[in-house]
Amino acid sequence: MTTKSTKTIKPTETEQLASNSLDAAHEAAVADLASKRTILADLMDRLAEGDSTVTGAGRSAAEADVTNAEALLVGAEARRDAARLALATAIAETVADEIAHSAAPVRVPNAVAESTEAVSTAISNLLIALRERDEASDGAGQRLAAAGVPQGEQVGRIRYLGVSANGMGGRRSATEFNVNVDGVWLSARQGIGHTRDEGERLVKELLETTLRENGLQWTTTGLRAI
C-alpha cells in the first residue's frame, strides 16, 4: 500500500496485479490437482481391471502427486485470500477517506445550522422592514392628523386613513395610519383584513415560495415533494 500526502490510501497497481496473479495461480493449482487425481483414478481403474503393468511405485508416485497438489492448493488458497484481503482493505480505506471528505458526518448538521440561521435572518429582516414601514406610515399619519389634515382627502401629493381597529371598516385607530404618496400606499393596510397580521402572511408566503422552489410543499399530512 502507498500513503500519499493527503493520507488517502489507495490500492496500487502492484497490489491489483498481485491479487490477479494469485487468483490465476490458485486456478492453476485447482487444475493441477484435478489432473493428478485423474491420473491416480486411471491407475486405480487399471488395477481393478487386472492391469499388471501398473507398478506399486507408479501408484505411490501418483498418490504422492495428489498429496503434493492438495498441499499446493491449500497454500495457493491462503496466498490468494491474503492478497484479496489486502486489496479489499486498501479499497475500503480509500472509500472511507473519500466519503469522509465528500460527505463528512458534520456536513449535514452544519448545513442545517447555516440554513436555520439564514432563514431566521431572512424572516427577521422582513419583519424589521415591515415594522419600520408601518412606523413610518404611522408617524406620517400622526403628523398629518396633528396638522389638521382631514383623513381620506387628497392634499397635494398625499392622503391618509386611520387603520380600522378590526380591519373591517370599523372604528379607526388613533395612532395607526395608512399613508398614500403619489398614488402609492406606503403601507398595504387599507384593505379588508386585520393588516397588523401582514407579517404573518408574508412569512408564510416566503416559506411556501422557498419550499416550492426546492420542489417541496406543505400539505394537510405534512411536507412532501411536489
Encode the chain (226 residues) as per-residue pLDDT tens digits. Answer: 344 444 444 556 667 777 888 889 999 999 999 999 999 999 999 999 998 898 999 999 999 999 999 999 999 999 889 888 888 888 888 888 888 887 777 888 999 999 999 999 999 999 999 889 889 989 999 999 999 999 999 999 999 988 776 555 556 778 888 899 998 887 765 454 445 567 888 899 999 999 999 999 988 888 899 8
Nearest to 208, CA basis, from 219, 198, 199 = 219
* Same-domain check for residues 45 and 113: no
* Same-domain check for residues 46 and 89: yes
- Which 8-state DSSP code applies to residue 154? -
* Same-domain check for residues 115 and 71: no
Rounded-to-integer distance, Cα 19 and Cα 82, Å = 9
Provide the domain count of the chain: 2
* Same-domain check for residues 120 and 216: yes
Segments forming the whole domain that contains residue 26: 2-102
Structural domain ending residue among the three candidates 102, 135, 151:
102
User: What per-residue confidence (pLDDT) applies to 225?
Assistant: 93
* Same-domain check for residues 96 and 158: no
User: What per-residue confidence (pLDDT) applies to 12?
Assistant: 62
| Residue 215 region by backbone torsions, left for phi larger than 0, else alpha for psi between -120 and 50, else beta | left
Quote the cell numbers at residue 9.
490510501
Nearest to 58, CA basis, from 69, 44, 71 = 44
Nearest to 129, CA basis, from 209, 206, 194 = 206
* Same-domain check for residues 156 and 80: no
User: What per-residue confidence (pLDDT) applies to 3?
Assistant: 42
| Residue 100 region by backbone torsions, left for phi larger than 0, else alpha for psi between -120 and 50, else beta | alpha
* Same-domain check for residues 43 and 112: no
Q: Helices 198-213 and 107-146: crossing angle, nearest 10°?
A: 150
Rounded-to-integer distance, Cα 183 and Cα 185, Å = 7
* Same-domain check for residues 202 and 169: yes
Single-letter code of the amino acid located at 6: T
| Residue 188 region by backbone torsions, left for phi larger than 0, else alpha for psi between -120 and 50, else beta | alpha
| Residue 97 region by backbone torsions, left for phi larger than 0, else alpha for psi between -120 and 50, else beta | alpha
* Same-domain check for residues 59 and 156: no
User: What per-residue confidence (pLDDT) applies to 197?
Assistant: 66
* Same-domain check for residues 125 and 83: no
Structural domain ending residue among the three candidates 102, 128, 149:
102
* Same-domain check for residues 130 and 220: yes
User: What per-residue confidence (pLDDT) applies to 141?
Assistant: 92
Structural domain ending residue among the three candidates 40, 71, 102:
102
Quote the cell numbers at residue 90.
486498501
Nearest to 163, CA basis, from 182, 186, 147 = 186
* Same-domain check for residues 157 and 185: yes
